[in-house]
Amino acid sequence: MDKLQRHYEQTIERLTEIKMRHEQTLRENLTKNNQQGNSIILKFNTARKELVKHMELMEKNACFMSDYNLIANNRELKRIMTDLDFKVENCEYSARYMRGEINDDVLESIIGHTLKLNCINATETNSFQPGNNAVFILEAISEDCCYIRSMTSKIRKVNIAGNEKYESGINAKDVCVKADDCIYYTDYKNKCISSLSPYGYLSTIVSTKPLTPGEICLSLDGGLLVTLTDELSDTFELQPCRRRLVRHLKMNGDLIHDYEYQEDGRTRIFVQPTSIAQNGNRDICVVNQSGDKTGDLVLLSFSGRTKSVYRGQNMSRYFKDK
């Protein structure tokens, strides 16, 4: 309902802008046309005065006018008439508005659609166990291949049967995979963001020192979103010198935006950002852990405005950061 209301308000705002633009166009056109019309009226009035003046002069001097004077007056009358020899209908105009068609189908498509979704059912097609330790990272590359990392292992590439293709040699906190199978990962030991090409080449994208990178994901604009903290100890104590933020980067490591404070520039957004993703509305969704067993889900607009904070419905259960 909140999304529908925001979209409705944005639609009304755009329609208001279009209406104001049409009104401005009508006013400007009417002013321009009136100026041209007044110029034509002035031209006719000037010519009328000249004609009346010459006719009165000819009537007054009719008995005394020589042939030369008659020819001169006749020539002047023709000049005046020649100046008025233009098509008046070319100067007939008005400022008009043609009403558009109100189409229900078009309006429906503009305002969006409400959908009744059936329950999503998941059916297991296959399973495998890559060792005895819990899996901390799982990133699918294709339908039959993925990257995994357990507690004691480095990033490994395995197929759907669980057979290991190779071990990358990197011990990442989190990874994300581009369409070209290039891995971008957070190196929490060296405090940097690095990449691993499909051919096994390692390269450092950008250093995050003195901040430690955590979770990472691809952004819809082709960049990276990564969580950053100043240190791992005393995680939930917020002191003035400490930093907790989400950073938006280009693929080459250039900074686009830091999401750290609310719009007032003083209030912190996060206590401890632990997981991050971006939805289809371009909202940045961040799991914000505020204690060992508490936390919330923060939704940020792409410009950095806090849109909403979801704190759950069953608060008797412990908060989980995934």
Query: What CATH number does the domain containing 215 carry?
Result: 2.120.10.30
- Check residue 232 and report its DSSP letter: S
Q: What per-residue confidence (pLDDT) applies to 237?
A: 73
Q: Is residue 318 part of a domain?
A: no
Q: What per-residue confidence (pLDDT) applies to 186?
A: 92
Which residue among 60, 83, 108 closes a domain? 108
Q: What per-residue confidence (pLDDT) applies to 234?
A: 59
Q: What is the domain count for the chain?
A: 2
The kind and range of the H/E element at 110 are helix 104-111
Q: What per-residue confidence (pLDDT) applies to 2?
A: 82
Q: Which sign, positive or negative, has the C-alpha torsion 74, 76, 79, 80?
A: negative
| Same domain (yes/no): 70, 193 | no
Q: What per-residue confidence (pLDDT) applies to 78?
A: 80
Q: What per-residue confidence (pLDDT) applies to 89?
A: 57
Q: Is residue 160 part of a domain?
A: no
Q: Is residue 296 part of a domain?
A: yes
The kind and range of the H/E element at 289 are strand 284-289
Q: Is residue 24 part of a domain?
A: yes
Q: Is residue 118 part of a domain?
A: no
| Same domain (yes/no): 103, 182 | no
Q: Is residue 217 part of a domain?
A: yes
Which residue among 108, 128, 157 closes a domain? 108
In the chain (322 residues long), the average pLDDT of successive 10-residue segments reads 88 93 90 84 83 80 76 79 63 75 86 78 78 81 81 79 78 83 87 86 91 92 91 68 90 92 86 89 88 86 85 67 58
| Same domain (yes/no): 88, 181 | no
Q: What per-residue confidence (pLDDT) applies to 159?
A: 83
270 in Cβ contact with 246 (< 8 Å): yes
Q: What is the pTM of this model?
A: 0.59
Which residue among 59, 89, 108 closes a domain? 108
**CA–CA separation, 153 vs 170, rounded Å?**
9
Structural domain range at position 97: 2-108
Q: What per-residue confidence (pLDDT) applies to 228?
A: 93
Q: What per-residue confidence (pLDDT) applies to 141?
A: 79
